[in-house]
Amino acid sequence: MATTKVEPKIAAAPEAPVEKYHGLTPQHLVEIYRLMYLSRKIDDREIMLKRQQKIFFQISGAGHEALMVAAGVLLRPSHDWFYPYYRDRGLCLALGNTPLEMLLQAVGAADDIASGGRQMPSHWSHPKLNIVTGSSPTGTQFLQAVGCAEAGRYFQKHPGAAAKVDGDYRQFKDVTFEGDEVVYVSCGDGTTSQGEFWESLSTASNLKLPMLFVVEDNEYAISVPVEVNTPGGNISQVVRGFPNFHFAEVDGTDVLASYAALKTSIEYVRAGRGPAFVHGHVIRPYSHSLSDDEKLYRPEAERKLEVERDPITRFRKFLLSEGIVDEAALHEMELDLTDEVQDAADTAVAAPFAKPGTYLQYLYSPNLDPTSAAFETDPIRPPLPGKPGGGEKTMADLINACLKDEMKRDQRIVIFGEDVADCSRDEYLREKQVKGKGGVFKLTSGLQAAFGSDRVFNSPLAEANIVGRATGMATRGLKPVVEIQFFDYIWPAMHQLRNELPTIRWRSNNGFSCPVVIRVAIGGYLTGGAIYHSQCGESLFTHTPGMRVVFPSNALDANGLLRTAIRCDDPVMFLEHKRLYRETFGRAPYPGPDYMIPFGKAKTVRLGHDLTVVTYGALVPRALQAAQRMEREHNVSVELIDLRTLNPYDWEAIANSVCKTHRVLVAHEDTLSWGYGAEIAARIADELFDNLDAPVKRVAAKDTFVAYQPQVEDEILPQANDVFNAMLELAGY
């Protein structure tokens, strides 16, 4: 429990636990009141600062203090893990967050421990206390909390995996774990409507994870009342069927009732019996935020009833009526707390903001640069003579080989996704009744059999579940290398992929990081793949700061780039073209267990001097075919650049080539408009205009979906012939 600054005169025997107070001492009770009052005072001070335009947003924890402080004094900072939401000021204060830290965030100061001035107030983050950076989207915290709990369990089982190892991301990740740790995660009543909330309950239940779910039910989600969000208006009744849980429903404005319910729940979780779910009925006396006026949708009578349940006035009355403390002492404590908050606010308001030009800091790891020479190694066997980059292994083989090598080398790697395991019922494997699946494209084949079912396993059929859990695991130091079965089905994970994974390092000012690798089977040319098995869409992710995007075109590059992705310290989306998995083009011999290619280094597939083609993925073999025909039929020499990584990309290679050939074509499989090529073409026009002898051309898919009928599919997707025609036009300009 945090120490009190003020020492009020407490009734006799302040240290003696009292049974009717659930074992709390009078001193504890006064300390709880202190934290509750402090929480409310900070909210009040922030509201004042907002009115003075010294802060720019305010959202309060008012009405939630009893439940939150009770949770905070029962849980253990720097031991348990915390995924709170914006109403959890009381919890964070009880864990050790100071008023000054909170107010520094409110003003957006450089010294704001949570985000360095990047996030709104009440977006808690405190690496030392294990309070994990939270975002604004409602509900995205749940699956990350699941992953966090899984990571703690994993490290208990594989303590050796926690060791720091030089040469990769592990040297920058301190791993801590405790045998009886609890992962706390909370939300409001409205947020229980989010799908990810339900996904997290399913996984916590299935895996009996040591998690404490707290739903703070103030009966409103901004203006939407609880019965609109929750069937029957009571979340406790709805979740009751989840196996393995301990459930508690409590008046969250009553300190002792909250304390008792949370205590029993936390004991259940700590004992390893499974997760607990605490539903606290609280109030929201200050509207949703300072931007909301609840008078517009709540009548006065309803608001008056709430006032009567205010946890602070109720608990104050209780302390006095029980004779635990007298009025004068309480009053003195309150005045002191008011002064403390005022002092903190004055300090915060005078604090400097982040220096101009620092906004790019911590988008990526400041420690490990995947474009550096440290990620450049030679293959143990050069490509076979007579075959350009050629050899006997397919891209599928060499991705599988890389995963195997890396899992052997790094115990922190876990692999999961849909169908990636050999067989979830692993006794079938052990008894050799079945051979095992290992992915719908067999890329993870044999990994579960080789490394065990706690390192390679199937996820539920839920993409947000895969990415959200991976993010939570990586925050704790694991290296999840997860699979999205088809790019076409990545969208349920979009919230995690856009608002969470790539933002965590930046928004926490380098307080947390989550270097996950997401392997995604992508692309068309499947003859019958149709709309939902042919999609590209890489530019959606290159348009997301904080995410590395890789798109190899051949077996050797896939192997070397995947190894870099795994060993690096950033989130990586690794796009694997399904059509290239087993193509004859670009096969290569196994390059050994340490082969790496740095990010941001293009490969010149073919030297030329008349025009340049900038491309990647499945357009590489098509452009190569077109280039050979140009040479043969028109004596035009084409330089072909395979970008290999799309973020970062090799601008130098593009610029050097364009300055040599003065004509350039950007080709990709994804749709033309607003595509990846638009950016490259715009930059060439902008920076290399004086070197151009012709307009920048683009070849890409038509701006539509991919049709099932193969002839129509061919018409939609860019073919070698389309590239050839564009080359011809460019050469003749």
Ligand X SMILES: Cc1ncc(C[n+]2csc(CCOP(=O)(O)OP(=O)(O)O)c2C)c(N)n1
Which entry of Mg ion, ligand X, none binds 39, CB below 5 to 8 A by partner kind? none
Which entry of Mg ion, ligand X, none binds 344, CB below 5 to 8 A by partner kind? none
Considering only residues 163, 222, 271, 434, which one is a binding residue for ligand X as defined by CB under 6 A? 222
Give the nearest distance from C-beta 499 to ligand X in angstroms.
8
The rounded distance, in Å, linking the Cα atoms of 177 and 411 is 16
Give the nearest distance from C-beta 222 to ligand X in angstroms.
5
Of 188-196, 428-436, 668-676, 698-706, which part binds ligand X (CB under 6 A)?
Answer: 188-196
The rounded distance, in Å, linking the Cα atoms of 576 and 588 is 16
Residue among 175 and 224 whose Cβ is closer to Mg ion:
224
Q: Extract the tokens encoding 596.
A: 């790496």
Of 134-142, 170-178, 623-631, 639-647, which part binds ligand X (CB under 6 A)?
Answer: 134-142
Residue among 230 and 411 whose Cβ is closer to ligand X:
230
Which entry of Mg ion, ligand X, none binds 136, CB below 5 to 8 A by partner kind? ligand X
Residue among 42 and 562 whose Cβ is closer to ligand X:
42
Give the nearest distance from C-beta 564 to Mg ion in angstroms.
44
Which entry of ligand X, Mg ion, none binds 483, CB below 5 to 8 A by partner kind? none
Residue among 294 and 679 whose Cβ is closer to ligand X:
294
Please tell me whether residue 220 binds ligand X under the rule CB under 6 A: yes
Q: Could you report how far apart the first and last alpha carbons of the chain are, in Å?
A: 76
Give the nearest distance from C-beta 101 to ligand X in angstroms.
21
Active site residue 609: no
Question: Count of residues binding Mg ion (CB under 5 A)?
Answer: 6
The rounded distance, in Å, linking the Cα atoms of 637 and 622 is 16
The strand pair at 220-221 and 224-225 is best described as antiparallel
Residue nearest to Mg ion as judged by C-beta position = 188
Residue among 196 and 483 whose Cβ is closer to ligand X:
196
Give the nearest distance from C-beta 568 to ligand X in angstroms.
30
Give the nearest distance from C-beta 666 to Mg ion in angstroms.
49
Of 6-14, 180-188, 351-359, 716-724, which part binds Mg ion (CB under 5 A)?
Answer: 180-188
Please tell me whether residue 88 binds Mg ion under the rule CB under 5 A: no
Considering only residues 99, 116, 188, 677, which one is a binding residue for Mg ion as defined by CB under 5 A? 188
Q: What are phi and psi of 273, to 5 degrees?
A: -85, -15
Cα 100 to Cα 116, 219, 232, 342: the distances in Å are 13, 31, 42, 10
- Give the bridge partners for 574, in sequence order: 519, 550
The rounded distance, in Å, linking the Cα atoms of 437 and 434 is 9
Residue among 37 and 85 whose Cβ is closer to ligand X:
85
Q: Tokens 């050994």: give the residue.
A: 592
CA torsion sign, 378 to 379 to 380 to 381?
negative
Q: What are phi and psi of 248, to 5 degrees?
A: -145, 135
Give the nearest distance from C-beta 400 to Mg ion in angstroms.
47
The rounded distance, in Å, linking the Cα atoms of 658 and 684 is 8
Please tell me whether residue 189 binds Mg ion under the rule CB under 5 A: yes
Q: Contact, 455 vs 446, CB < 8 A?
A: no
Considering only residues 22, 34, 40, 87, which one is a binding residue for ligand X as defined by CB under 6 A? 87
Listed in sequence order, the residues at least 6 apart from 331 whose beta carbon sits closer than 8 Å to its beta carbon are none
Which entry of Mg ion, ligand X, none binds 22, CB below 5 to 8 A by partner kind? none
Which residue is catalytic, options 279, 533, 577, 668?
A: 533
Q: Tokens 């008056």: give the residue.
A: 304
Residue among 188 and 571 whose Cβ is closer to ligand X:
188
Residue among 190 and 675 whose Cβ is closer to ligand X:
190
Long-range contacts of 582-585 (CB under 8 A, 24+ apart): 582/394, 582/395, 582/396, 583/394, 583/395, 583/621, 585/554, 585/621
Please tell me whether residue 288 binds ligand X under the rule CB under 6 A: yes
Strands (E), 95-199: 183-188
Considering only residues 136, 347, 458, 656, which one is a binding residue for ligand X as defined by CB under 6 A? 136
Give the nearest distance from C-beta 85 to ligand X in angstroms.
7
Q: Contact, 581 vs 617, CB < 8 A?
A: no
Give the nearest distance from C-beta 187 to ligand X in angstroms.
5
The rounded distance, in Å, linking the Cα atoms of 531 and 560 is 31
Listed in sequence order, the residues at least 6 apart from 690 whose beta carbon sits closer than 8 Å to its beta carbon are none
Please tell me whether residue 188 binds ligand X under the rule CB under 6 A: yes
Considering only residues 26, 84, 190, 391, which one is a binding residue for ligand X as defined by CB under 6 A? 190
Please tell me whether residue 191 binds ligand X under the rule CB under 6 A: yes
The rounded distance, in Å, linking the Cα atoms of 413 and 39 is 41
Give the nearest distance from C-beta 123 to ligand X in angstroms.
11
What residue type is assigned to position 46 of the chain? Answer: E
> 99-107 and 327-349 are packed helices; what angle lies between their axes, rounded to 10 degrees?
40
The rounded distance, in Å, linking the Cα atoms of 641 and 650 is 10
Please tell me whether residue 223 binds ligand X under the rule CB under 6 A: no
Q: Extract the tokens encoding 454.
A: 């706690």
- Give the chain's radius of gyration (CA, Å): 29
Closest of 40, 102, 32 to residue 74, by C-alpha: 32
**Binding to ligand X (CB under 6 A): which residues in 452-491?**
none
Question: Count of residues binding ligand X (CB under 6 A)?
Answer: 16
Q: Extract the tokens encoding 332.
A: 């003195």
Give the nearest distance from C-beta 142 to ligand X in angstroms.
12
Which entry of Mg ion, ligand X, none binds 629, CB below 5 to 8 A by partner kind? none
Residue among 59 and 345 whose Cβ is closer to Mg ion:
59
Q: Tokens 């690794």: give the residue.
A: 574
The rounded distance, in Å, linking the Cα atoms of 222 and 234 is 17
Please tell me whether residue 187 binds ligand X under the rule CB under 6 A: yes
Residue among 191 and 553 whose Cβ is closer to ligand X:
191
Strands (E), 140-275: 183-188, 211-217, 220-221, 224-225, 246-251
Please tell me whether residue 138 binds ligand X under the rule CB under 6 A: yes
Residue nearest to ligand X as judged by C-beta position = 188
Residue among 14 and 137 whose Cβ is closer to ligand X:
137
Q: What are phi and psi of 221, to 5 degrees?
A: -120, 100
Contact characters 215-234, Mg ion, x per CB under 5 A: ---x-xx-------------
Q: Can you give the binding site for ligand X, defined by CB under 6 A? A: 87, 136-138, 187-191, 216, 218, 220-222, 284, 288
Active site residue ranges: 533
Q: Can you give the binding site for Mg ion, defined by CB under 5 A? A: 188-190, 218, 220-221
